[in-house]
Homo-oligomer: A and B are copies of this chain.
Amino acid sequence: MSRLVEVTELALRDAHQSLLATRMTMEDMIPACEDIDQAGYWSVECWGGATYDSCIRFLNEDPWERLRTFRKLMPNSRLQMLLRGQNLLGYRHYEDTVVDRFVDKSAENGMDVFRVFDALNDPRNLKRAMEAVRRTGKWAEGTICYTTSPLHTVDKFVELAQRLKEMGSASICIKDMAALLRPQPAFDIVRGIKEKCGEDTIVHVHVHSTTGVTLVSLMKAIEAGADIVDTSISSLSLGPGQNPTEALVEMLEGTGYTTKLDKSRLLKIKDHFAQVRPRYADFESKIVGVETEIFDSQIPGGMISNMESQLKQQGAADRLKEVLAEVPKVRKDAGYPPLVTPSSQIVGTQAVFNVLMGRYKTLTGEFADLMLGYYGETIAERNPDVIAAAENHAKKPSITIRPADLLKPEWEALDKAAKALPGNEGADEDTLTYAMFPNVAPKFFAQRAEGPKDPCKGAAPASTAPENPGSKPADDGKGPIT
């Protein structure tokens, strides 16, 4: 008797976010929904991450309408979203009642499974969102961002899982956005969680395929007891995306594990996305095949191209090697944050500044905030000398409290400002859109009635470079790979 391994399909969110700059339109997803709904997945990730931003910025689609459509077209499926804790889908911390409203509205519009994470793995940044999800009766999945550093041991990840479990996680996600999770730690962490949190703890493993090793890691995670794994249909898989769903199914054939996926449905889903993908050629990631250098450099490919662009704009394209060598030092000084949005941009930009202007001679505002605790706690102590420089630069003290505790109630003000915008339809959903993307929302509200726009018509190739080296990673229109 084989043990059942459940599967989350990523085609409708992370796959096209990672491979096609989050540009897939609802129109190109709708025809696949019935097959996805019937294929036997545990859940269908289809919302959150960068899709909300992309909807209003590039596609002139109302993200809430997208969610409702998915709900209608996939009545048998758990819909799943990616939520950046206290950041929601934006790039700053929100006051708790805004978090509550966002979760309420998402649940109301049809969301079932909330994967909640924080870029620094600071559980305090997950807590309010998790509580909100539990209050709605939906599935709260506490998430560990996987990374590597001298401090990131198996025991530390298992400890974090225990904290998430205590916070009421219905399942624990191990999220490996950079494809750094090798087979042995995959096994060890899953095993550790099962042993420390109880064998009945549901472990959900999310890996990308950039380094080429992570299908093996899924195998090992499954052998260690992982309950649910994330994959994407083969025609939207590999490279900086994820492992192919069909390969997972075939890999398990003959082992003591099995999925309950319907291969004939998978074939239809594959064929559909194989057919629409060429429309997005302008947005294709330039990373194809396999890149293993990140295991040593610790620097995700997308981060390297950002730094390259910044250097080029400063006429210093020849100094990339120095910057690459600087990144690990900056990361260490900052307490070894995982390199994921926004920490990857913050660390990368500061490394560029250090090389061009001298180490910590100039700090970006974001880096100062990171050093001073305004993004949350890091796993390691931060360098006190750099903290002092940051205090001096930012003219504010370092903090140890939860960053959102500094915020005053803000819903009323956001709601008032949002409702004043032409085209606002008066719903809380619009206020949330404005709250998360105040620069984009006005144009979106004004144009919404024109309906979806095809991003592939006359589209310029996607740029991964922010506008200037010190520019906020926030609100930059490039979906992070998560």
Interface residues of A (CB under 8 A from B): 182-185, 211-213, 215-216, 219, 234-235, 237-238, 243-244, 246-247, 249-251, 253-255, 263, 267, 289-293, 295-296
CB-based contact A255/B183 at 8 Å: yes
Measured between C-beta atoms, what is the minimum distance from A213 to chain B in Å? Answer: 4
B182 and A289 form a contact (CB under 8 A): no
- Interface contact B292-A246, CB-CB below 8 Å: yes
Q: Which of A184, A237, A255, A289 has the largest count of B CB atoms less than 10 A from its CB?
A: A289
CB <8 Å contact, B182 and A254: yes
Give every chain B residue within 8 A of A184 (Cβ-Cβ): 253-255
Instruction: List 7 A–B pairs whose Cβ atoms lie within 8 Å, in order of A's numbering.
Output: A211-B247, A212-B246, A216-B219, A234-B290, A237-B290, A244-B289, A263-B296
- Whether B289 pairs with A238 at a CB distance below 8 angstroms is yes
Q: Which of A184, A212, A289 has the most CB of B within 10 A?
A: A212
Q: Which of B235, B244, B247, B292 contacts A234 (CB 8 A)?
A: B292
Known: A290-B244, A290-B246, A292-B246. A251 touches B216 (CB 8 A): yes
A219–B234 alpha-carbon span in the complex (Å): 21
In whole angstroms, what is the CA distance A234 to B210 when docked?
12
Contacts of A212 in B (CB 8 A): 215, 234, 238, 243-244, 246-247, 250
CA distance A212 to B219 in the complex (A): 13
Docked complex Cα distance between A212 and B250 (Å): 9
* CB < 8 Å neighbour of A219 from B183, B250, B293: B183
**How far apart sit A292 and B212, CA to CA, in the bound complex (Å)?**
17
Partner of A213, one of B215, B237, B267, B293: B215
Interchain CA distance A234-B244 in the complex, whole Å: 19
Contact between B292 and A250, CB atoms less than 8 A apart: yes
B247 and A290 form a contact (CB under 8 A): yes
- For A185, A213, A253, A291, the residue with the greatest tally of chain B CB atoms inside 10 Å of its CB is A213
Provided the pairs A234-B212, A243-B212 are in contact, do residues A182 and B250 lie with their beta carbons within 8 angstroms? Answer: yes
Do B238 and A290 have beta carbons less than 8 Å apart? yes
A235 to B185 Cα, complex, angstroms: 26
Residues of B within 8 A of A235 (CB): 289
Complex contacts, A244 vs chain B, CB 8 Å: 212, 289-290, 292
A213 to B247, CA, bound (A): 6
Which chain B positions have C-beta within 8 A of A292?
234, 244, 246-247, 249-250
A248 to chain B: closest CB distance in Å?
8
A289 to B237, CA, bound (A): 8
- Shortest Cβ gap from A3 to chain B (Å): 14
Q: For A289, list chain B residues within 8 Å (CB).
A: 234-235, 237-238, 244
Q: Contact: A182 with B253, CB < 8 Å?
A: yes
Q: Within the assembled complex, what's the spacing in Å between the Cα atoms of A254 and B154? A: 12
Q: Please indicate the chain B residues that have their CB under 8 angstroms from the CB of A238 in the complex.
A: 212, 238, 289-290
The answer to whether B250 touches A213 (Cβ under 8 A) is yes
* A251 and B290 form a contact (CB under 8 A): no
Contacting residues, chain B, for A246 (C-beta < 8 A):
212, 290, 292
